[in-house]
Amino acid sequence: MDSNIHKFTKPITVLRYVPQEILWHKAEYRALESRLPAWEKMVKFQNGYSRKDSLRLSHDLLQRVKELPTDVLLLRGLRSASWIELFQRAHNLPFFLNLHRKAGDIWIELKDDYYPHFGSKARDSFDILPLLPGKSVAIHINARYWHSLMGTGTDTHYVENYLYLENLGQFTQAELVEGLEEPFVFNPDKEIDFRQMLY
């Protein structure tokens, strides 16, 4: 067997989550001339990627993540990863998203942590769409954010997010690659704009 091949004990689903975000204080936000930042369109993945139904991971990635009895590996950002458990509960993604299982699929859920502080439960959470194998989505969010101030109190901040999620598919093995760097251009199958909805 090739020493660079890691075989999983059971088939795993690999998801990708790449957040881009800017956080402003109220005064900074109100002073902006434009509230539509220019996001990075191209990045280099150093944690892993898939190509032609094969999975490639950084050679030491699996050694650096805590093992859990689960079958979902989440590639976070450009360099890190974690095993996530979706059988019993949802998995939180900062700032406004959850991942959870429903009817055999993995769904993206929008959650609002700001307005429930003021007694509004109607906007607490709702499903956006399923993240199906081979599909990707980018979610734009512009929202108020209930932010802790050095542990002494909280205040309203404003956050602008560009959140890219992708389901790379299911894999039984991965090729472990030394010095992995894979250029990637964001071209999601679907874009969802919540910029006015949560404001």
Which tens digit of pLDDT belongs to each residue from 152-198? 556 677 778 899 999 999 999 999 999 999 999 999 999 998 876 55
Model pTM?
A: 0.85
H-only helix segments in the chain: 26-30, 61-64
Average pLDDT over residues 42-61: 94
Written as six digits, the tokens of 22 are 């800017």
What type of residue is 111? K
Written as six digits, the tokens of 172 are 């039984």
What does the alpha-carbon distance between residue 122 and residue 172 come to, in Å, rounded to a whole number? 41
Residue 61 clears pLDDT 70, i.e. is over it: yes
What is the three-class DSSP state of 186?
coil
